[in-house]
Structure 1
Amino acid sequence: MEKLVSHQLVDYLVRRDVKNVFGLCGHTVIAMLDALKDSELNFVSVRHEQLAAHAADGYARVTNKASVVLCHLGPGLTNAMTGVANASLDSVPMVVIAGDVPSFYYGKHPHQEVNMHCDGSQYDLYKPIVKRAWRIDKPELFPEILDKAFRLAESGRPGPVLISVPMDMFSRSIDTVHFERTFHDSSFTAKPTLSKETATEIAKMLIEAERPLIHAGGQLIYTHASKALTELVEFLDIPVTRTLMGQGAIPDNHPLHVGMTGFWGLDYVNKTSSEADVILGVGTRFAEADSSSWYKGVTFNIPGSKLIQIDLEPEEIGRNYPVTIGAVADPKLALEAILEAAKEIKPEGIDRPALRAEIAKNKEAFRASNVEISNDNRFPMTPQRILKDVREVFPEDGIIATDVGWNKNGMGQQFEITIPGTILHPGGLATMGFGPAAILGAKLAAPDKKVITLVGDGGFGTNPSVIATAVEQNIPVVWVVMNNGAFGTIAGLTASHYEHSFGTIFKRKDGSSYNPEWSVVAQGYGIKSKKITSADEFKTVLKEALDSNEPYLIDVPMENIPVPTDGIWNINDIYTPKDNVVEGKLMYGEAYKSKHVSTK
């Protein structure tokens, strides 16, 4: 029996248990819209393709399954690119299905074709940011490519893939026999674990170390490794540091959790990781912000410390630091194997009460140093007060998407997350505008959870049309706009090095401050909103917004206070070089001295 490819594609997505397709219309995909119209799938229509990618990103992070984006060719594909790249750098599985020019018009300048260097090659645009890019040249190949695409997106280090579909292929009729293979192809792919010998070797190194450390990355969230991590660290009493993306891998209030490392890490956290003699790095790429620009002795002291690195992606092993042991494995399975080996080697486990007391003392010292500003009643509000009030009102199992600035870096540093998967950060690409759209997908994936974003006014201003989608789809999320009238982080960075804020503060030509009234804009979209007028008002309004069970925007005037940091970032040394820094590297040991050396 013959059937249109577009309708067979929709049937395929339904069989894969896809619930939502995120996208925007265009003439190349209207055949797909026709097939979607009466299907079981929910088409989440947005007003800009970047929003579709971010919403799909949020959906995939909550479901741990590949989400689906549908977009038009040319500007549709380029608009979506930033959101897809954000998903790629944060290892989020996604299948992008993009309409393309008719296959018989390649190179003839059909409407919106991108062909400056090669005909029929729009999929080349995505090659640097996806795991694989396919073009459908024969409709009969579609089923095989679909199976490959979903498997690749969800396997190894997860990430987006692209299928570019010439518009005429959607409208071809082919025999349903070609899709029969998809009924037999399992969607499950077993992940690798450690051999018993390797697990035993790693366990032995951790047991014999004087100052062992486990450094947890974002892959632990995706692979549901939190239980395995917690059991291992408690059995051997090993301290845990984490990356920004690893937040929630172990509860932030766990007695063996030290904190986030790197530029936004605190002195004690970086000191703990730099003084470890054996480090087990699991599911992390040791990226720049988490590693203080790789300056030796600041966050990590490798070599010096022996590094064991476990990752799903072979290319990440030893990328930034030499390893003593490198292993390609699923973090959950690997940690379970190491724990099993550790119990055989040392059945009684290890008890380090002094270590736990030291961690508790340092955490309490930081909390105490933050109490005054977190309770400060001044207005505009301090970001610390906003975070405190949110934590007191927002349910522990609710989902928060951050964006860029205080809401990401400050949250990673001092906002306690106790349940894995309840904080969604844009880490790798750090894209402004991620949070406001990601919560749409997150709420669709977890309709029974409260879902909010904390976002700067700069980030929210990139594309406020997220509100329209929330209204159309009846998605009850809350946007908390932390409004400091600036691109705050960059304003602080510019001021610290150049003593001005040119290009970073929102103002008119005459120098007067300017910002849209976001609460009024929100009302124009037809949702409830409120602009906060005092610090004491915020918590009450947030509770009202959460209880309303409908889209709600809160505009919160906020003071532009820099995120406290004890770490080192090469950017600072580039702009204001220190005496012992040359070409981004420390000339001497004792890297912390560089923070106290007079600038040139």
Structure 2
Amino acid sequence: MQDLISHQLVKYLENRGVEHIFGLCGHTNIAVLAALENSRIKFINVRHEQIASHAADGYARAKKETAVVLSHLGPGLTNAATGVANAALDSIPMVVIAGDVPSHYYGKHPHQEINLHADASQYEIYRPFVKRAWRVERPDLFPEIIAKAFSLAESGRPGPVLVSVPMDIFSKEVDVSLFERLQPHANKLKRPSIDDQTAHEIIDSLAAAERPLLYVGGGVMLADAAAELRAFVDHMGIPVAYTLMGKGAVSDDHPLTLGMTGFWGTTFINDSCRNADLILAVGTRFSEADCSSWEPKYTFHIPPTRLIHIDIDPKEIGRNFPVEIGVVADLKNALHVLNRVAKTRFPQPRQNEAMAEKIRRYKESFWAQVQKHAQSDSYPLRPERILADVREVLPQDAIMTTDVGWNKNGVGQQFPIYEAGTILTPGGFATMGFGSGGALGAKLAQPDKVVVSLIGDGGFGQNPSVLATAYEENISVIWLIMNNNAFGTIAGLQESHYGTTYGTVFLKEGVSYSTDYVTIAKGYGIDGIKIEAADQLKPALQRAIAAEKPFVIDVAMLNEPVPTDGHWNINDIYTSKVKQQV
């Protein structure tokens, strides 16, 4: 029996349980769109491909499943590239299916062909950041390629893959038995764990240490291992520090949770890491901002601190710090074994009341300092006041997406997260614009949860057409715009080192101005409120939640840098340049 590739692709995706596809039309993918018209899979139509890839990213994080993007060739694929690269650096599983030029026109300059260095080479532009890029050369190869694409996206360290399909192949027939033979294949592969001997070695090392510490990253969320991690912390009584991507892995109100490390960390948290004699790191890459540029006098001093590192990706173990024990394993499986061995080795939970008391006193002092700004009635609002009001109103299980600036760095430092997976942030790529599109995907993945995109005016301005998709599909995301009429974080950095904010603030004839985002929202058919006094924010957010519709809240915010005791050596670089010029 023969059938069109486009029809069989949709059936394959249905059989895998795919419920949503994010994308934008083009002449190379309309065969797939036609096949989707009567499918139970919902196509989420966007106005810009970057929104599609960010929405797919947010969807995959919130649903813990591989997301699917459908793209056009050339500019469609390059528009989506930023969101796909963001997913790659944060290890988010994604399959990008892109139309390509007709195979019989390779090298003849068909419409939108990329061929400066090789004929029909559009798929090569994704090679630096996807796990693999395929170009389908024949219809009979497509079934195995699409199956391999999903398997690779989900296995090992997750990430995006690209399947580039010439438009004529979408419309060619294929023997359906080539798809049917894939049905017995397991959709999910078993992941590696650790052996008991290694687990005993790790537990004994932690028990013998005087100042042990757990350092957790976003890999805990990717492995869905937060419950196992919490059980391990409770039984072993070891304090926990986290990366930006690891925020929420253990609740911020846990008595042994220290907080975020690095540039936006505090002296107490960074010193606790630096002075540890043994660190068990799980699911982290030890990236620059989290590690104070790896300079030993700030956050980590390894060695002499000893390091045990567990990660699914062997390339990350020993990349930035030497390890005493390196383990390649799935974190959920590894922590399951560690918990079992820990309970065998220590039948009763180990207490660490002295450390818990130190952390309690530190948090009490830290929040006392924050409160003076968090309770300020000034207008424009203090950023601390915005975060405090949002935290007070939101349910603990609400999902928040952030962007860059105060809404990412300040949230990491000053916004408690109580449930794993409820904060979705662009970590590795730090992409401006992720928050608005990512929230669409998160809400589709978790329709019963409140979803708020906490985003700056610079970030929201990247792709305001996200509102069109929200209106058409009634995706009840709340966009809360922290509006400082600037690319505020960069403006603060430039002003502190160069004494100017040129090119970083929004001016009209030398006067600061703001886009009217509420009017823009209404133009898309969406309600909005512009906050004009500090006491208006909480009622506005409560109204937005109750509406259960897309909603925009525009909050004028004072442009203040996120306070930090941490270190990032770009400051040294800029200071050095300024001194040289002087």
1:594 maps to none
User: Could you say what secondary structure the match of 1:464 adopts?
Assistant: coil
Q: Give the drift of 1:348.
A: 3.3
1:550 maps to 549
Aligned residues: 582
Distance in 2 of aligned mates of 1:560 and 1:469: 30
User: Could you say what secondary structure the match of 1:152 adopts?
Assistant: helix
1:593 maps to none
Distance in 1 of aligned mates of 2:531 and 2:309: 47
2:266 maps to 266
Of 83-92 and 341-350, deviating more is 341-350
User: Could you say what secondary structure the match of 1:184 adopts?
Assistant: coil
Q: Give the drift of 1:363.
A: 0.7
1:219 maps to 219
Distance in 2 of aligned mates of 1:331 and 1:186: 21
Q: Give the drift of 1:409.
A: 0.5
Distance in 2 of aligned mates of 1:353 and 1:235: 13
Distance in 1 of aligned mates of 2:569 and 2:116: 37
Matched, 1:91 2:109: no
Superposition RMSD in Å: 1.5
2:423 maps to 423
Could you state the TM-score of these two structures normalised by the residue count of structure 1? 0.95
Distance in 1 of aligned mates of 2:551 and 2:346: 54
2:191 maps to 191
Amino acid at match of 2:571: N
Q: Give the drift of 1:347.
A: 2.8
1:41 maps to 41
Matched, 1:511 2:510: yes
Of 512-521 and 525-534, deviating more is 512-521
2:126 maps to 126
Residues 177-256 of structure 1: matches in 2 within 5 Å?
177-256=177-256
1:28 maps to 28
User: Could you say what secondary structure the match of 1:479 adopts?
Assistant: strand
| Aligned residues with identical type, % of pairs | 57
Residues 519-530 of structure 1: matches in 2 within 5 Å?
519-530=518-529
Q: Give the drift of 1:398.
A: 0.9
Distance in 1 of aligned mates of 2:409 and 2:335: 28
Listed one character per residue, the Cα deviations across residues 158-182 of structure 1 (whole Å, up to 9, x for unaligned) are: 1000000000000001111111122
Q: Give the drift of 1:515.
A: 2.3
1:586 maps to none
Listed one character per residue, the Cα deviations across residues 230-266 of structure 1 (whole Å, up to 9, x for unaligned) are: 1111212100000000011000110000000000001
1:257 maps to 257
Q: Give the drift of 1:303.
A: 1.0
Amino acid at match of 1:34: A
Listed one character per residue, the Cα deviations across residues 175-205 of structure 1 (whole Å, up to 9, x for unaligned) are: 1111112211110111111111111111111
Distance in 2 of aligned mates of 1:336 and 1:272: 26
1:471 maps to 471
Amino acid at match of 2:157: R
Check whether the contact 1:280–1:307 (CA below 8 A) recurs between aligned residues. Answer: yes
Matched, 1:442 2:405: no
Q: Give the drift of 1:379.
A: 0.4
Distance in 2 of aligned mates of 1:338 and 1:128: 36
Check whether the contact 1:143–1:181 (CA below 8 A) recurs between aligned residues. Answer: no
1:591 maps to none
Provide structure 1 residue ranges, at least 5 long, that are not aligned to the other structure: 582-598
Distance in 2 of aligned mates of 1:171 and 1:233: 55
Listed one character per residue, the Cα deviations across residues 246-287 of structure 1 (whole Å, up to 9, x for unaligned) are: 011000110000000000001100000000000001000000
Residues 326-365 of structure 1: matches in 2 within 5 Å?
326-365=326-365
User: Could you say what secondary structure the match of 2:463 adopts?
Assistant: coil
User: Could you say what secondary structure the match of 1:555 adopts?
Assistant: strand
Q: Give the drift of 1:76.
A: 0.3
Q: Give the drift of 1:373.
A: 0.4
Listed one character per residue, the Cα deviations across residues 467-518 of structure 1 (whole Å, up to 9, x for unaligned) are: 000011111111000000000000000011011111111002x211122111
Amino acid at match of 1:537: Q
Of 181-190 and 280-289, deviating more is 181-190
Check whether the contact 1:245–1:427 (CA below 8 A) recurs between aligned residues. Answer: yes
Of 377-386 and 140-149, deviating more is 140-149
Distance in 1 of aligned mates of 2:30 and 2:503: 41
Q: Give the drift of 1:45.
A: 0.6
Distance in 2 of aligned mates of 1:270 and 1:543: 36
Listed one character per residue, the Cα deviations across residues 67-126 of structure 1 (whole Å, up to 9, x for unaligned) are: 000000000000000000000001100000000000011111100001110112211000
Residues 278-293 of structure 1: matches in 2 within 5 Å?
278-293=278-293
Q: Give the drift of 1:334.
A: 1.2
Q: Give the drift of 1:382.
A: 0.6
Listed one character per residue, the Cα deviations across residues 3-57 of structure 1 (whole Å, up to 9, x for unaligned) are: 1110000000000000011000000001111101111111101000000000000
2:153 maps to 153
User: Could you say what secondary structure the match of 1:183 adopts?
Assistant: coil
Distance in 2 of aligned mates of 1:349 and 1:551: 46
Distance in 1 of aligned mates of 2:407 and 2:51: 19
Q: Give the drift of 1:224.
A: 1.6
1:137 maps to 137
User: Could you say what secondary structure the match of 2:174 adopts?
Assistant: strand
2:481 maps to 481
1:373 maps to 373
Provide structure 2 residue ranges, at least 5 long, that are not aligned to the other structure: none
User: Could you say what secondary structure the match of 1:148 adopts?
Assistant: helix
Could you state the TM-score of these two structures normalised by the residue count of structure 2? 0.98
Q: Give the drift of 1:223.
A: 1.1
User: Could you say what secondary structure the match of 2:77 adopts?
Assistant: helix
Distance in 2 of aligned mates of 1:21 and 1:353: 49
Amino acid at match of 1:271: D
Q: Give the drift of 1:332.
A: 1.6
Distance in 2 of aligned mates of 1:383 and 1:554: 15
Check whether the contact 1:298–1:567 (CA below 8 A) recurs between aligned residues. Answer: yes
2:530 maps to 531
Check whether the contact 1:207–1:342 (CA below 8 A) recurs between aligned residues. Answer: no
